[in-house]
Amino acid sequence: MTGTLVLVRHGQSDWNLKNLFTGWKDPELTELGVREANAGGQALADTGIKFDIAFTSDLKRAQDTCKIILDKVGQPDLKTIRDQALNERDYGDLSGLNKDDARKKWGEEQVHIWRRSYDIPPPGGESLRDTGARVWPYYLTEILPLVLQGKKVLVAAHGNSLRSLVMVLDRLSKEQILELNLATGVPMVYRLNADSTVASKEVLGDMSGAH
């Protein structure tokens, strides 16, 4: 019996809109972000899926996205576990800065390295590898066992925490994961084999809106 794992990146946040490094800061969803979460929830509702449990991060934009989706699929009271293991990558000293201002301060090339390298963190922050180092153990101990029991699990989280999961699920290299952008509010539906490998993957929506 295979279970189902659904990953959804939160809808656009206020700081996404303002082009700020967000990380562990806690801005709200924008009106567009709410619409994106509703659209993702509707796409899931259209499949008829019913979840057994949901996981989200310790940050409001992911929690609100999770709540909107659960409302849409008719499960507003579903047990939902929040954990900072699923938080966005911590951008350290870059958090709260406008991305253009950061480029002026540190230079275009250095900021690009921090944003797009796999294992070079910004000052006081995390690299994508560091993010994976807290996401992977949590996935292996808390989420994967439920999926392997045949349960349907929703994870509403963030661009980088989910990228680190997709890297493992889709068996992407360090180079390939750096090219991957996850669209906001677009569910990725994985069905796993008994050995935890991916039996199938379906993206419910248009990936051309990725940003």
Side chain identity, residue 101? D
Residue-wise pLDDT for 84-95, tens only, equals 999 999 999 999
Residue with tokens 């992977």, as numbered in its chain: 136
Q: What is the pLDDT of residue 211?
A: 34
171 pLDDT above the threshold of 60 = yes
CA distance 29 to 71: 16
Of the listed 10, 36, 126, 158, which one is catalytic?
10
pTM: 0.94
69 pLDDT above the threshold of 70 = yes
Task: Give me 90's structure tokens.
Answer: 């911590």
Q: What is the pLDDT of residue 2?
A: 80
Residue-wise pLDDT for 73-117, tens only, equals 999 999 999 999 999 999 999 999 999 999 999 999 999 999 888
Side chain identity, residue 198? V
Q: What is the pLDDT of residue 7?
A: 98
CA distance 45 to 15: 28
Task: Classify the C-alpha dihedral 150-70-157-92 as positive or negative.
Answer: negative
Is 10 one of the catalytic residues?
A: yes
The upper half-sphere exposure of residue 23, i.e. CA atoms within 13 Å in the direction of its Cβ, equals: 23
CA distance 77 to 74: 9
63 pLDDT above the threshold of 80 = yes
CA distance 163 to 179: 10
Residue with tokens 């406008």, as numbered in its chain: 98
For residue 67, is it within any domain? yes
CA distance 98 to 34: 23
For residue 211, is it within any domain? no
What stretches of the chain adopt beta strand conformation (E)?
Answer: 4-9, 53-56, 80-82, 152-157, 188-192, 198-203
- Count Cβ atoms below 10 Å from residue 156 Cβ, excluding itself: 31
207 pLDDT above the threshold of 60 = no
Question: Which positions ≥6 away from 130 have C-beta within 8 Å?
Answer: 89, 90, 119, 121
Residue-wise pLDDT for 130-168, tens only, equals 999 999 999 999 999 999 999 999 999 999 999 999 999
> How many domains does the chain fold into?
1
Query: In which domain, by residue range, is 21 found?
Result: 4-205
Residue with tokens 């509703």, as numbered in its chain: 38
Q: What is the pLDDT of residue 1?
A: 62
The CATH number of residue 160's host domain is 3.40.50.1240
Q: What is the pLDDT of residue 206?
A: 59
Of the listed 28, 36, 88, 126, which one is catalytic?
88
For residue 210, is it within any domain? no
Residue-wise pLDDT for 173-188, tens only, equals 999 998 899 999 999 9
Instruction: Map residue 196 onto helix, strand or coil.
Output: coil
